[in-house]
Amino acid sequence: MHKKQKNYIYYIIISIILITFFLNFLLVNFERNAENGNIDNIANAYWYMIVTLTTVGYGDFYPVTALGRAIGYLYVLSSLGFLGFLISNLTNKIMEFMEKKKLGYFGTSFTNHIVIIGWNEFGKQVAEQIVRADHSVAVVTNDKANIDLILNSFSKKNIFPFFSDYENFENLKKANINQAFSVFLNFNDDTENLVYLLNFKKHYKNVRLIAALNNFNLRDTFLSAGAAYAVSKVNIISKLVASYIFEPDAAKITEDIMTTSTEEGDFDMQEYKVIEKNPYLNKNCLEVFTDMKIKFNCVLLALSRKNDNGERIVLKNPSKETKIKMNDYIILISDGKSKESIIEAFGVKEGRF
CATH 3.30.70.1450 matches 263-346: yes
Residue 225 pLDDT: 94
CATH number listed for the domain at residues 3-102: 1.10.287.70
Residue 223 pLDDT: 94
Going residue by residue through the chain (353 aa), what tens digit of pLDDT does each one get? Answer: 556 667 777 787 788 788 888 888 898 888 888 888 888 889 988 898 888 877 777 778 888 888 888 988 888 877 777 667 767 777 888 888 999 999 999 999 999 999 999 999 999 999 998 998 889 999 999 999 999 999 999 988 999 999 999 999 999 999 999 999 999 999 999 999 999 999 999 999 999 999 999 998 999 999 999 999 999 888 888 888 888 898 888 888 888 887 776 666 778 899 999 999 999 999 999 999 999 999 999 999 999 999 988 889 999 999 999 999 999 999 999 988 888 899 999 999 888 77
Task: Name the pairing type of β-strands 312-316 and 229-232.
Answer: unpaired
3-state DSSP call for residue 211?
strand
Q: Give residue 303's identity as a one-letter amino acid code.
A: L
User: What's the rounded Cα separation, in Å, for the pair 212 and 232?
Assistant: 6
Sheet containing 209-213, strands listed edge to edge, beginning at the edge strand earlier in sequence: 159-163, 137-141, 114-117, 182-185, 209-213, 229-232
- pTM as predicted: 0.70
Q: Quick one: CATH architecture of 114-237?
A: 3-Layer(aba) Sandwich (3.40)
Tell me what the pLDDT averaged over the chain comes to: 89
Residue 264 pLDDT: 66
Q: Which of 226, 166, 168, 165 is nearest to 201 (CA)?
A: 226
Positive or negative torsion for Cα 310, 315, 321, 322: positive
Q: Give residue 267's identity as a one-letter amino acid code.
A: F
Residue 2 pLDDT: 57
User: What's the rounded Cα separation, in Å, for the pair 105 and 312?
Assistant: 38
CB 61 within 8 A of CB 68: no
Q: Where are the domains of the chain?
A: 3-102, 114-237, 263-346
Neighbours of 232 (CB within 10 A): 19
CB 173 within 8 A of CB 203: no
Q: Which of 203, 211, 204 is nearest to 185 (CA)?
A: 211
